[in-house]
Structure 1
Amino acid sequence: MSTSRYLQALTNTQSIEELWDMHTRKMASYGFDRLLYGFTRYRTSNSLGDPDDFIVLTNHDPAYTDVFMGQGLYFHGPMVKWVLENEGAASWSILGEMMSQGALTESERRVLEFNRSMHVTAGYSISFKSISPRAKGAIALTAHPEMTQAEADDVWAAHGDEILVMNNICHLKIMTLPYSAPSRTLTKRQKEALEWVGDGKTTQDIALLMGLTQATVEKHLRLARESLNVETTAQAVLKAALQNQMFVIEA
């Protein structure tokens, strides 16, 4: 499939699952067979925010992600540090330079040792441009275990521009699709109640519009706040909107 046809198909996807399946297969055709995408809207000066609020997509084996993500190893990853401080694409060859210069901390060296044990040794990281200092998105493209970094660099020299464009479009498309942690997915009634709040309706108005009692509407709003882990209904409306859980046309 040509790049233009791929991009057209990518932009027409209707779900995160469809998009991710398509993108992982496309990147594998270049030799990058394991991907790890992450995005946060809640970054601060010393934190990436609540991990439960991250958008994380990956086709890595759980044996890798359970440690790298589940045990918080990512927070000490030298390439994670790079994507937080830069924009664009970087070859993992810079890790060798950091090591030779003694620029890696003990925690960062442990991350590299773990990555080597899981055959995560060659690849590229892409840091996407952000319009807010609170938001950051990035993707790590891991080359298949038999590929050296020099070979990955050769692939990038030949196809880097198109790979970068495809990943940028993929990132932008993800921003338009509904996504939330499984434990924080709103029910249809909770979404509807929040949508009416977003339209400026009172609890009494919403009860009439939904054909429910005010107490039931208040229950739906309370459960929505609990599901989204926020304190106020206004915060729930904002968070649900940011996660594309509200005002979404169902396919």
Structure 2
Amino acid sequence: MQNVIGNVDRLTKAASVEELWCIHQQLMAECGFDRLLYGYTRYRTSNGLGDPRDWVILSTQKPEYMKAFIDDGFYHNAPMIQWALENDGACSWRWLTETASRGNLTPAEMRVMAFNKSMQVTAGYTVSFRSVSQRSKGAIALTAKPGLTQDQVDNMWAENGDAIIVMNNVLHLKLLSLPYSGERKLTTRQREVLQWVGDGKTTQDIAVLLGLTPATIEKHLRLARQTLDAETTAQAILKAAFYNQMFGADSR
């Protein structure tokens, strides 16, 4: 792939998640991957990945694919997700067929493979990003254009794989620095009161600073907790920080 430095420069200069994702779609399509599914969680535990509503999910897959894979829970038994959780780097989907041929996939995993085949999600690569903590994990599934075989995709990867990995790593690192809310978008006032709490201010302090009543401040904190599905204000501050919704250049 030509002009890798120029492509990386475009990614790093993106000012929003939407702009970044649009650029990355174009770049990956040029590489032969027209359907992407990126996921990142900071709520990984020993027995799960947390609430999907707390994940960063970006996709160019069809809505019906996403409904089955995420909403209906197919991801629980997706072999490539399990591979991504246990590994860093890139993996050809050839691993799937080889593992299945050895009889090493469960019936539930085989059902996910059959579903993917029905949706023409059969050839591609998964890139798993190095985790920054035990609680976090990110990966992206790169699905090749319909009609391409895994042999053809592996040949493409042999030629451009290093550049593709670099661009996906840049995408991932850039996403970690950009505000992303998904279903958890705070209002300006909710973000503002959380920021003041994060600065160590009491409800009374914030009321004076904003010219509001303490009851109104408590209301905004309660709504912020509800929006972020947080049990406490401290947890709400943590989640807002994870989503880069606090202390941004335009936050106050």
Shift of 1:250: 3.5
What's the counterpart of residue 102 of structure 2?
A: 101
Whole-angstrom distance in 1 between the partners of 2:250 and 2:24: 22
Letter in 2 for 1:92: W
Letter in 2 for 1:124: Y
CA contact (8 A) 2:52 2:70 kept: no
List runs of 5+ in structure 2 lacking aligned partners.
none
State whether structure 2 residue 37 is matched by structure 1 residue 36.
Answer: yes
What's the counterpart of residue 219 of structure 1?
A: 219
Whole-angstrom distance in 2 between the partners of 1:7 and 1:205: 45
Q: What SS class does the counterpart of residue 223 from structure 2 fall into?
A: helix
| Equivalences, count | 250
| Runs ≥4 residues deviating over 2 A | none
What's the counterpart of residue 248 of structure 2?
A: 248
Shift of 1:232: 1.1
Within-5 A mapping of 1:167-182: 167-182=168-183
List runs of 5+ in structure 1 lacking aligned partners.
none
What's the counterpart of residue 202 of structure 1?
A: 202
What's the counterpart of residue 190 of structure 2?
A: 190
Percent of matched pairs sharing the same residue: 58
Whole-angstrom distance in 1 between the partners of 2:212 and 2:250: 23
State whether structure 2 residue 125 is matched by structure 1 residue 115.
Answer: no
Letter in 2 for 1:244: N
TM-score by length of 2: 0.97
Shift of 1:209: 1.2
Letter in 2 for 1:50: D
Whole-angstrom distance in 1 between the partners of 2:64 and 2:238: 35
What's the counterpart of residue 59 of structure 1?
A: 60
Whole-angstrom distance in 1 between the partners of 2:53 and 2:43: 11
Within-5 A mapping of 1:149-160: 149-160=150-161
Whole-angstrom distance in 1 between the partners of 2:113 and 2:166: 28
Q: What SS class does the counterpart of residue 172 from structure 1 fall into?
A: helix
Letter in 2 for 1:19: L
Whole-angstrom distance in 2 between the partners of 1:46 and 1:166: 31
Within-5 A mapping of 1:125-136: 125-136=126-137
Letter in 1 for 2:55: F
Shift of 1:131: 2.0
What's the counterpart of residue 229 of structure 1?
A: 229
CA contact (8 A) 2:32 2:145 kept: yes
Whole-angstrom distance in 2 between the partners of 1:112 and 1:92: 11
Whole-angstrom distance in 1 between the partners of 2:233 and 2:167: 37
Q: What SS class does the counterpart of residue 126 from structure 1 fall into?
A: strand
Whole-angstrom distance in 2 between the partners of 1:12 and 1:208: 39
Letter in 2 for 1:98: T
Whole-angstrom distance in 2 between the partners of 1:161 and 1:226: 43
What's the counterpart of residue 144 of structure 1?
A: 145
Whole-angstrom distance in 1 between the partners of 2:214 and 2:185: 23
CA contact (8 A) 2:38 2:140 kept: yes
Whole-angstrom distance in 1 between the partners of 2:182 and 2:55: 8
Whole-angstrom distance in 2 between the partners of 1:193 and 1:201: 9
Whole-angstrom distance in 2 between the partners of 1:4 and 1:136: 26
1:171-198 deviation line (CA, Å, top 9, x unaligned): 000001111223x210000000001111
Shift of 1:74: 1.1
Shift of 1:45: 1.0
Shift of 1:139: 0.2
Whole-angstrom distance in 2 between the partners of 1:22 and 1:71: 29
TM-score by length of 1: 0.97
